[in-house]
Structure 1
């Protein structure tokens, strides 16, 4: 790869400033805001908040302005109309700056990422809104993709070189470049150099791209020998797993959703990268691969709907589950389209994805509104059940409630304050939460500044204390290991366990691929997902130990942790009788001793993965 000269870089940057003045202005504003934010970190709360908002607005404004420029260029629009459209893009970015406030609402980070994704997709097709021009559309995005990779490479090399030079000055001449100087250097390289270099490579003659039939050989090799094999591996694993859960008639694991999405990403990306050469004689296999990809995606989408739906039914809707469901429907739509229609338009992929992304950001149908409503209803229903909800308000609990309900209520409060701030609960709370927030911000009895994470923690702590949930939640002072779960450990006295009653000890509870042989004994460790259990096959006899049930029993044990505040890493030490399960089968007595178990509990069900370690004790009986 030939690196450009300093002269060519300077000329390219000069041309870029003329072609993209508004985009460069947004990049500069965002870079300055990021620089100031480095200096204000954990020093000035209001300043940090505005820096974050300006950085987000600058990113979105740059993308909107670039999309507008490409649209105007494709339509050959100039003069007053051009000025109006460019101004509207800039005004929209400023409005977004006023609306987003990630310092106080963590969900605004997700809103920003969604808007940024949608505007990136808009850039992909803004210059090709006229029907047809598929070849030009593909060539344009191929150029952007390769230019992006090149700009990242150049920016990385430049930063490493300058950072090494600064380090050398520190070492040789006792300069005082601290960590923030290195961070600011990266901010300017990523914010200005990287942006200018990328913009310099954006095609200006969009119409000419329709006649460009060049195709990088390396791209085909990368797709044929990297992406397609990866997608094939994914689908084989997923189909085998789907057959397994059908045979065992068990529910799929939550992680399967990510694997299915990985298969979809690799598959769709590989098909897009080879789109222009799919009709060539030597590439006829690509059509067969495309059909099989979308066909095999359908049963996997059924698995995805099952995995997500199970967790929505148990724990309610969250943003992550909302997006999984949305992506599942989008993938179903794309699969049906490419299977049903012979004349296919690949522009449908970025256009449809950008539209549903925007729709998921704001409004009653958005991920945040649906998730907030779902989690709020669960919280209200818990308080209604315990007579602590009247006249549309949540009342502080006056009587003790069961630990599982209390823990779940505390978890919902934690989610609502963390993701949506105090405002999400003001409708259901009598005190003025703005005044409470101001009081906390002034830091009564505090002589030091506390950052936004501590600030959010203190607001959550206040809300949990107000509702009298401090004995159940992760926040606030508590005196029990909560029914949200926890970390439990068995430690034998003096580090010794008496084994005189047993003949064998088998360390570890993970499943074996093959049976272990000793004397006339055949032993194999096993695991099951639903319900979660571990066990042994002893001479063909199955011995199962229900881990879900053990977790539920342990979550009700009232054991004081070592610290006043709950620490999930602070294990509750329990006696052997609480951490062991005894089973008996023909000819054998088997005891599972759990040396440690770590889990979360929601809605009376252990949530997701239970981390368990231990060993088995076996005794032959006549």
Structure 2
């Protein structure tokens, strides 16, 4: 029985033709793969040139793909082709020189915005003419399906090769470095996956008259995506009704749900766009019309949520992007409702332009956010006499927890995102010396605590999962500097970080052969302990309700004397004492309830 013959000649010829068609794209992939291999091999990022080369190579891969598609659409005239490639090299060289030796998180965000803009540009680079809408859709359908196919082939081939390497390792006792697996993965993603994908990219000049439409795509959209979009619509409108009834501000989380719903709806309509005029599918036009109409109230809800966050906390990169997406969705809805053309190329072209504009310039996300947060910090510090005549002063009078928490948050942001560039002149030499003392690699700006110390302030943290002005949480802490006398007690039970995730929580502790039982009842804000047929009840509801005003003070924990968080109970057989070290409460349906408790339980057994 003859073994099946591998068409190696055909594979090599197809690979060669793909290289001739996309040479600079594949050279970028090969360069990036080699650079990442070197980073893995040296197991160090001390050489700043390698990470920067990896970033530029990844960006070059998609940039040259866009330029080569455009050149192909224009007939691949040598002069135009080489002019475009020279432009690409010049842009990448400029970007490499623009990158700092140690790219911070801001540069990662900028890089992601550029990648999004270039990926969107790849969808329409070969279809810049006003017409050829069908060719545009067919081209992107082919790219989407080819991308899925390439990912499947790459994953299966990688797993197969990994199993083969493991077999050699186990069966023949060949010692294989663990780096082989990571290098193989990088090669499969960077070279094989890219080459395989490019081999299936259709010629954009041959697609305008193609009318193929996968039936499975229509079924998936009609019976999976659109029902999910409708479900999200019902949920969002129900939440909007709740807001109107209770007359409360929308929660910040609703922004992501509205953006997700809008994206899913637009994507669904794009998938079934070619068959909207065919017999039996006229419902698509009706659905599209009502979908865009339904967007308007939700976009108002989204803009209100963003406006509240911007009003209270200023603009950050994340809020800038959410606001830009909200305005873009508004423009898309207006365009597809009232424009005569309704060309689907409007979607990637406008979104790509927004992503590119947000990445650079004084109008970009980074510059606008830095100015906004610097202005907020200047206002707060001036109000509390921490900034006088443009120079930082040590704190002279106590700064409220609310202001300390805001200053901490802004200083931490300016350090992580902008390396204090906009406020270094306020601090002068003391801050400059902190920059000189930092490590050569890794820490890109001085620690927030060190910068706050220059103002005489301590780091003041807000509760996790909340923002400064959300009056839904508060925390109480016992003063750790106090020493308490615990003489006369026999046992100490540590109560570590109890989160009240159910209406009633039970816990058992072993004391010799006996069992101490703890029961927490959230609705009553009560903690019960049962031992030797006795029950001690510690009602904390009055404590919670008395201090609920703390929720208005930016969520900063309030330090209380330890004796205010010390409770005693006397029983016939057992004397109990509960020392709370930390307590958090959360607002639910208009009332505050315990959400977290830490402390110690002391017991004295009576004769």
TM-score band by shorter chain is 0.7 to 0.9
Aligned partners of 1:547 and 1:153: how far apart in 2? 57
Q: Please list, as runs of the form range in 1=range in 2, the aligned pairs for 1:457-536 lying within 5 A after superposition.
A: 458-472=446-460, 507=504
Q: Does residue 1:21 correspond to 2:18, yes or no?
A: no
Instruction: State the SS of the aligned residue for 2:595.
Output: strand
Aligned partners of 2:124 and 2:23: how far apart in 1? 21
Identify the range of structure 1 (422-431 vs 211-220) with the bigger mean alpha-carbon deviation.
422-431
Contact 1:151 1:194 in 2 (8 A): yes
For residues 36-89 of structure 1, what are the alpha-carbon distances to aligned partners after superposition, in whole Å with 9 as ceiling and x for unaligned?
222445x343x1x33222222112212121111111211225122321121101
**Structure 1 stretches of 5 or more lacking a match?**
443-450, 475-482, 498-504, 509-522, 527-543, 561-571, 579-592, 601-608, 615-622
For residues 340-377 of structure 1, what are the alpha-carbon distances to aligned partners after superposition, in whole Å with 9 as ceiling and x for unaligned?
12431111111111111111111111111111111111
Aligned partners of 1:575 and 1:595: how far apart in 2? 9
Q: Which residue of 1 aligns with 2:425?
A: 427
Distance 1:173 1:332, change over 3 A: same
Q: Does residue 1:557 correspond to 2:558, yes or no?
A: yes
Deviation at 1:277, TM superposition (A): 0.6
Aligned partners of 2:316 and 2:439: how far apart in 1? 28
Distance 1:229 1:178, change over 3 A: farther
Instruction: State the SS of the aligned residue for 1:18.
Output: helix
Contact 1:104 1:421 in 2 (8 A): no
Q: Please list, as runs of the form range in 1=range in 2, the aligned pairs for 1:188-227 lying within 5 A after superposition.
A: 188-204=187-203, 206-227=204-225
Q: Please list, as runs of the form range in 1=range in 2, the aligned pairs for 1:221-620 lying within 5 A after superposition.
A: 221-431=219-429, 436-441=434-439, 452=442, 455-456=443-444, 458-472=446-460, 507=504, 549=549, 551=551, 555-558=556-559, 575=565, 597=584, 612=595
Q: CA RMSD in A?
A: 3.6
Contact 1:489 1:573 in 2 (8 A): no
Instruction: State the SS of the aligned residue for 1:281.
Output: coil
Instruction: State the SS of the aligned residue for 1:558.
Output: strand
Contact 1:235 1:263 in 2 (8 A): yes
Q: Which residue of 2 aligns with 1:586?
A: none
For residues 441-486 of structure 1, what are the alpha-carbon distances to aligned partners after superposition, in whole Å with 9 as ceiling and x for unaligned?
25xxxxxxxx62xx24754343233333335369xxxxxxxx9989
Contact 1:61 1:93 in 2 (8 A): yes
Which one has a bigger Cα radius of gyration? 2
Contact 2:476 2:557 in 1 (8 A): no
Q: Please list, as runs of the form range in 1=range in 2, the aligned pairs for 1:82-231 lying within 5 A after superposition.
A: 82-101=81-100, 103-204=102-203, 206-231=204-229
Aligned partners of 2:103 and 2:563: how far apart in 1? 38
Distance 1:174 1:228, change over 3 A: same
Instruction: State the SS of the aligned residue for 2:429.
Output: coil
Q: Which residue of 2 aligns with 1:538?
A: none
Aligned partners of 2:503 and 2:105: how far apart in 1? 46
Deviation at 1:419, TM superposition (A): 1.2
Contact 2:474 2:585 in 1 (8 A): yes
Instruction: State the SS of the aligned residue for 1:163.
Output: helix
Distance 1:194 1:438, change over 3 A: farther
For residues 365-411 of structure 1, what are the alpha-carbon distances to aligned partners after superposition, in whole Å with 9 as ceiling and x for unaligned?
11111111111111111211122223323334354422221222121
Contact 2:476 2:558 in 1 (8 A): no
Deviation at 1:549, TM superposition (A): 3.2
Contact 1:437 1:459 in 2 (8 A): no
For residues 571-595 of structure 1, what are the alpha-carbon distances to aligned partners after superposition, in whole Å with 9 as ceiling and x for unaligned?
x9983779xxxxxxxxxxxxxx999
Aligned partners of 2:350 and 2:593: how far apart in 1? 38
Deviation at 1:193, TM superposition (A): 0.6
Instruction: State the SS of the aligned residue for 1:233.
Output: helix
Contact 1:294 1:335 in 2 (8 A): yes
Distance 1:466 1:473, change over 3 A: farther
Aligned partners of 1:260 and 1:375: how far apart in 2? 26
Aligned length: 516
Aligned partners of 1:8 and 1:233: how far apart in 2? 49
Distance 1:158 1:594, change over 3 A: same
Identify the range of structure 1 (374-383 vs 146-155) with the bigger mean alpha-carbon deviation.
374-383
Aligned partners of 2:547 and 2:344: how far apart in 1? 48
Aligned partners of 2:583 and 2:171: how far apart in 1? 51
Aligned partners of 2:320 and 2:566: how far apart in 1? 42
Aligned partners of 1:44 and 1:241: how far apart in 2? 48
Aligned partners of 1:35 and 1:207: how far apart in 2? 37
Instruction: State the SS of the aligned residue for 1:211.
Output: coil
Contact 1:423 1:433 in 2 (8 A): no
Aligned partners of 1:367 and 1:356: how far apart in 2? 10
Deviation at 1:298, TM superposition (A): 0.8
Distance 1:93 1:486, change over 3 A: farther
Instruction: State the SS of the aligned residue for 2:104.
Output: coil
Aligned partners of 1:574 and 1:8: how far apart in 2? 82
Distance 1:597 1:172, change over 3 A: farther
Normalised TM-score (structure 1): 0.75
Normalised TM-score (structure 2): 0.77
Q: Which residue of 2 aligns with 1:604?
A: none
**Structure 2 stretches of 5 or more lacking a match?**
1-5, 463-470, 479-490, 496-501, 506-520, 525-543, 569-579, 598-607
For residues 409-459 of structure 1, what are the alpha-carbon distances to aligned partners after superposition, in whole Å with 9 as ceiling and x for unaligned?
1211111111112434323331286664343225xxxxxxxx62xx24754
Aligned partners of 1:506 and 1:6: how far apart in 2? 66
For residues 536-567 of structure 1, what are the alpha-carbon distances to aligned partners after superposition, in whole Å with 9 as ceiling and x for unaligned?
xxxxxxxx96996354588452279xxxxxxx
